[in-house]
Amino acid sequence: MNRLTRQTLEQVFPLLWVTGEISNLIRATSGHVYFTLKDNAAQARCVMFRTRAQIIPWRLENGQQVEARALVSLYEPRGDFQLNIETMRRAGLGRLFEEFSRLKQQLEMEGLFAAERKKSLPRLPNRIGIISSPQAAALQDVLSTLNRRAPHLAIVLYPTLVQGEMAAKGIAQAIISAGHRNECDLLLLVRGGGSIEDLWAFNEEIVAYAIARSTLPIISGVGHETDTTIADFVADLRAPTPTAAAELATQNWHGMPQKIIDLSQKLNSAMQYRISRDQQRLDHIALRLTHPANNLKRRQDQMHLLGSQINTALTSYLRIRHEHISRLAMRFNRLAPRVESRQGELALLEQRLAATKNRFFLQARSALDTLSKALEHLNPHDTLARGFAIVRNEQGEVVSHASGLQTGNQIAVELATGHVTAKVLTTSSSEERLKKH
């Protein structure tokens, strides 16, 4: 009889929705849940098997008003009339789900969910705005996460209600105010988890349009990971939780220390290579660079050598001439009878030879003195001591013409004692100066 009654009930009554209040709730060790659904006029025993109970997104408690999708049946061993619950939602959620689906479809058709309209997030934000309730536990989680991951960031709170009839308007106004003030690089829209009624402010049309029209990028971190709101679809980025929103906002700052270390190592390596290369280049230049005093000494040594060579050549020349004269004198002595008449001529030749020798010595000495004086004039230190200066450009090259410089160029001036660094104010050629005078 009980079996026939169960079969009849299950065949006659289709799956239907029953509204009532939960009472006498019992959770069995098997995972099944037993309770009674009641209203003002009647009550019915209910069972929700473990596989069905596990998918309910909230914890069942006595006194909750629910809407249950049930199969009318009979428990044969006891002959008890009961409802086998397939699924359950909070009372009134059917209307909310319908409103949620309607608005989602409308906004999606308007393009508010399109990826191309979403704004990119700043890579390294310096100031982050938070839209939340000052009393919300989620706000403390977000602040703690931001302080741990990027303590240098400036935080601006835009306080608003996040639950209740006035919450949606307050959230929209906070988003608009943040855009007008334009003092943040990024906004976090955060609230902790709750029922669909608790989170309904984030499903309101006014909030969706405020997010879409925001000039600042927005990360939505509303509810738990399983909670989804219209704000999540419209926001530029959706985070599963408020804490995750803070982590996404600081993901680049959090990894910045290691990046700085890597860049520092690369910079040090590049600097060491550059320094080593420039030092090697300087060594090569130093080998080729000769001080003017060294050049002057080398020229003086060359002059002394030339003077010695001239003296040697002159002495050799005079010795040869003297030997020649001596031979001639011996021949004259042997031929004295024939050359007596030419003694006066010989004396004259000797006088001319002496004069030639003296003149040759004087000319050689004069030439040597002239060369020595010219060499002294080439000494740059003597020239500098007379008030002249050596001008070099930024590349260290000697500048001899004004056309080689431009206004604003930096020059190095070498004086007799010390160096001066100067900047070119004006330039003019010799012809231009003559014209002016």
Q: pTM score, two decimals?
A: 0.45
Domain boundaries, the chain: 2-91, 96-254, 292-378, 384-436
pLDDT in tens, 35-48: 999 988 999 999 99
pLDDT averaged over every residue in the chain: 85
88-92, 101-105, 137-141, 259-263: range with lowest mean pLDDT: 259-263
Q: Does domain 2-91 have CATH number 2.40.50.140?
A: yes
Residue 431: pLDDT band (50, 70, 90) is low
Going by C-beta distance under 8 Å and a sequence separation of 6 or more, which residues neighbour residue 206?
168, 169, 172
Q: Is 175 in contact with 204 (CB distance < 8 Å)?
A: no
Q: What is the pLDDT of residue 123?
A: 87
Q: Which two tokens stand for residue 207?
A: 């909030």
Which CATH topology does 96-254 take? Rossmann fold (3.40.50)
Cα dist. 437→208, 424, 428, 434 in Å? 81, 22, 13, 5
Mean of pLDDT values over 133-156: 90
pLDDT confidence bin for 190, thresholds 50/70/90: very high
Bigger pLDDT: 336 or 282?
A: 282
Query: What is the predicted pLDDT for the residue at 341?
Result: 61
Q: Summarize pLDDT for 1-45 with one digit per residue, the tens.
A: 999 999 999 889 988 999 998 889 999 888 899 999 998 899 999
Instruction: Give the range with max mean pLDDT: 248-262, 325-339, 380-394.
Output: 380-394
Spatial distance between the Cα atoms of 191 and 136, rounded to a whole number of angstroms: 7
- Is the confidence at residue 308, as pLDDT, over 70? yes
235, 230, 151, 134: which is closest to 191 by C-alpha?
A: 134
- Res 387: pLDDT: 78
Reply yes or no on whether the pLDDT at 385 is more than 90.
no
Q: Which two tokens stand for residue 8?
A: 């009849």
